[in-house]
Amino acid sequence: MGLALILSTGFVAEAQVVVDIFGPAIPRFPICVFPFKAQGSDATQGSQEAMRILTQDLRISGFFEVLDPSKALSDPFRQGFEPKDVDFDAIKLLGADIVVGGKVELEGGGLRWEARLYDLPQRRMVFGKVYRGSANDLALMVHKFVDEIIKYYTGEPGIFQTKIAFISSRSGAKELYVMDADGENPRQLTQDKNLVLSPKWSPDGREIAFISYVGAGAHLFSLELNGMRRRVISARENMNGPGAWSPDGKRICTTLSIQGNPELYLLDTSGNILQRLTQHPGIDVSPSWSPDGRSVAFVSDRAGGPQIFILDVASGQVRRLTFEGRYNTEPAWSPRGDRIAFSALLNGAHKICSIRPDGRDLVQLTDGPGNDNSPSWSPDGRYLAFSSTRAGGSQIFIMLFNGQNPVQITRMPGEQSLPSWSPWMTEK
Amino acid sequence: MMGKRSLRFILFLGLVVLPLIGSGCAKKAVQGEETAVSPAEVRPADRPGAGLGPGGRPLEETLTAEERKRREAEAAFTNEDIHFDFDKYDLTPTAREILARKAYFLKQYPTVKILIEGHCDERGTAEYNLALGERRANAAKQYLVQLGISEDRISTISYGKERPLDPRHNEEAWAKNRRAHFVIVSR
């Protein structure tokens, strides 16, 4: 798609209220999005799609209360979109602090979307953008715009230009898929027609490691997204994977069972064994690196049932992290370093919890019906993706780091599971 | 230790060897072989690769008694899973009996190579269950090795919770699904 143009706003960086979303209360800014004016009937579909995705993303972000534009006294943009033309009086009773308006038109076989953000109490335009691209790029255009809005109000950009890899059984077999962080544009990446599990992004966002049963065994592969080239990381006897990339991208921590017992090993990215990390007759699986690359959280049954442990990579020292409950698995270390999310078996169902790496402050993040599994952090540590059976079949959800605002982002047939959130795909 | 071992041996004799011998000599099977297969038709099937009898008749009719017996033994070998307790990979006494029968089969047919699949019920989490299934398959393998089967005849794979035998969501289904399944990969 074409580059976004910034519309001149006459806006000087004034005192901008940026709130700390990791503070005690997460703000929810009241916002109202008006339908984008379609210039010509051919643009109607684009206009409706932009409206749908923008509204959806604002809801998913958790920072906005999205208000109904039909409650406006009249169309505030009937005279145009320049601040002097906007009828702020028509919308002053909506309760919104933020208003979005704009238009969509067809241009040279593609779309031109102009979107503006207004501060209602101050009756001014905060910023405006023009995006150009093909109709297929519309979701990406909206994601860029939403990320700007979130950056303006929270000080850090949104995550809507990142991706989530996951496993879906939609085709009949479990295969690797990738989608936008809001669930748009799901795309099937493997056609192995057997069983694919445990996708994990490389920290540069270029590759996804995963387990596939495509050949004679369960082997660890990596798929380069640019060109879709696949390579084998480990095809040793017995277990190979799941594999977790170290934060510097130079090593992969994975489970191998070459001695007949699942142990953690450190591989280089070609799959050569650098080091054996665990020495224990029990199960050692599901590694997740601390962002400083010094520690690995993992699951072991060395204390009886499955619990989460932390390994100091340099010394090999292992300490137990979780003590409450009998079945704690699927650790995911936050990219901010301050928490480890995991799934815990509570009253017969799996729920997402998080705990500090020192073992303090255990918090249950999800509740209600069904199983919640496989937490994966967004690269900013503000969100968790997870799978849940709360709505029937297994689907992918995302929620804020503290469990607020869970939103279902897949609605696909079959079972959606094992989400893995990508790193930043663009410059922040 | 001594007591345990001899008990195991008696169990082996009583529960495994005797019934096997018994079934091998069962009257029905012998009669079936005699009536279905005439001596002239027997020989071609002895040669490897002989798929059809004279006149293009299906293989089943040309089986030798030996081959028939072998197929029954193979079916018994692959049809019987061993089962595990929830979140466990140690072998139950019943599982050991079944494995002893499997070891007997593998000794009878020393060219056979097998794959042991480890499986779990749906209740745990995917990756931990992969490792648990791996441990289950390996526990079965190690016991067969203890019973004298060469390690290089046995490979293992874990399917975790991904291939339930019984798709229902209840105790009965879960018990069936926590299993090691045995596949003959070459004869």
SS3 sequence of chain B: CHHHHHHHHHHHHHHHHHHHHHHHCCHHHHHHHHHHCCHHHHHHHHCCCCCCCHHHCCHHHHCCHHHHHHHHHHHHHHHCCEECCCCCCCCCHHHHHHHHHHHHHHHHCCCCEEEEEEECCCCCCHHHHHHHHHHHHHHHHHHHHHCCCCHHHEEEEEEECCCCCCCCCCHHHHHHHCEEEEEEEEC
Kindly state whether residues B125 and B154 are assigned to the same domain. yes
Residue B112 placed within a domain: yes
Given a cut of 50, whether residue B70 has pLDDT beyond it is yes
CATH of domain A5-154: 3.40.50.10070
- Look at residues B66, B91, B114 and tell me which one is the last residue of a structural domain: B66
Does residue B106 belong to any structural domain of this protein? yes
Residue B71 lies in a domain: no
Q: Are residues B84 and B132 in the same domain?
A: yes
Query: Is B126's CB within 8 Å of A237's CB?
Result: no
The answer, yes or no, to whether residue B141 has pLDDT greater than 80, is: yes
Q: What predicted TM-score, i.e. pTM, was given to this entire model?
A: 0.87
Residue B113 and residue B178 share a domain: yes
Residue-wise pLDDT tens digits, B119-138: 999 999 999 999 999 999 99
Question: Which element (helix H / strand E) includes A128?
Answer: strand A124-133
* For range A132-158, the mean pLDDT: 94
Nearest C-alpha of chain A: how many angstroms from B141?
Answer: 9
Q: Which of B128, B156, B163 sits opposite A299 (nearest CB)?
A: B128
Q: Do B90 and B60 share a domain, yes or no? A: no
Q: Which residue of B has its CA nearest to A342?
A: B125
Q: Which of A87-96, A112-121, B11-20, B97-106 has the lowest mean pLDDT?
A: B11-20
Domain that holds residue B170: 80-186
CATH code 3.40.50.10070 region(s) in chain A: 5-154
Q: Is B131 on the interface with A (CB under 8 A)?
A: yes
By the 10 Å C-beta count (0-12 exposed, 13-18 middle, 19+ buried), A221 is classed as buried
Has residue B72 been placed in a domain? no
Residue A164 vs residue B57, higher pLDDT:
A164
Mean pLDDT of B12-28: 41
Q: State the DSSP H helix or E strand holding residue A141, giving kind and residue range, or none if neither.
A: helix A138-154
Q: Given this model, what pLDDT does residue A4 score? A: 56
Between chains, do B87 and A305 touch, taking CB under 8 Å as contact? Answer: yes
Distance from CA of A183 to the nearest CA of B (A): 22
* Same domain, residue pair B28 and B90: no
Minimum mean pLDDT among A112-116, A174-178, A267-271, B58-62: which range? B58-62
Within-domain flag for B88: yes
**What CATH number should be reported for the domain holding residue B96?**
3.30.1330.60
Give a yes or no: residue B75 inside a domain.
no
My answer on whether B62 and B87 are in the same domain is no
Residue B108 lies in a domain: yes
On whether the CB atoms of residues A342 and A361 are closer than 8 A, the answer is: no
Least confident of A36-50, A314-328, A356-370: A36-50
Q: What is the pLDDT of residue B60?
A: 58
d(C-alpha B68, C-alpha A190), whole Å: 42
Distance from CA of A408 to the nearest CA of B (A): 20
Tell me: pLDDT of A333 over 70: yes
- Can you tell me the mean pLDDT for A294-322? 97
Total domains, chain B: 2
- Band of residue A7 on the pLDDT scale cut at 50, 70, 90: low
Share of chain A above pLDDT 90, in %: 87
Residues B62 and B110 in one domain: no
Same domain, B62 and B85: no
Mean pLDDT of B63-87: 93
Higher pLDDT, A272 or B51: A272
Residues B133, B166, single domain; the answer is yes
Do B94 and B15 belong together in one domain? no
Please check the confidence at residue A147 and state whether its pLDDT lies above 90: yes
The domain boundary, picked from B66, B98, B116, lies at B66
In a domain, B59, yes or no: yes
Assign domain A163-421 to its CATH superfamily: TolB, C-terminal domain (2.120.10.30)
Q: For the segment A62-99, what is each residue's pLDDT rounded down to a tens digit?
A: 999 999 999 999 999 999 999 999 999 999 889 999 99
Task: Based on the fold, state whether residues B132 and B162 are members of the same structural domain.
Answer: yes
> CA of A231: how far to CAs of A212, A222, A237, B160, in Å?
12, 5, 17, 24
> In terms of Cα–Cα distance, which of A222, A214, A218, A220 is closest to A191?
A214
Does A257 score more than 70 pLDDT?
yes
Band of the pLDDT at A305, cuts 50, 70, 90? very high
Nearest of A28, A14, A330 to residue B126 by alpha carbon: A330
Residue from the list A195, A197, A262 with its beta carbon closest to the beta carbon of B131: A262
- pLDDT the model gives residue A19: 66
Q: A20-34, A99-113, A395-409, B51-65: which range is least confident on average?
A: B51-65
Last residue of a domain, which of B39, B66, B93?
A: B66
Determine the pLDDT at residue B64.
86
pLDDT band at A42 (very low <50, low <70, confident <90, very high): confident
Closest residue, chain B, to A418 (C-alpha): B126
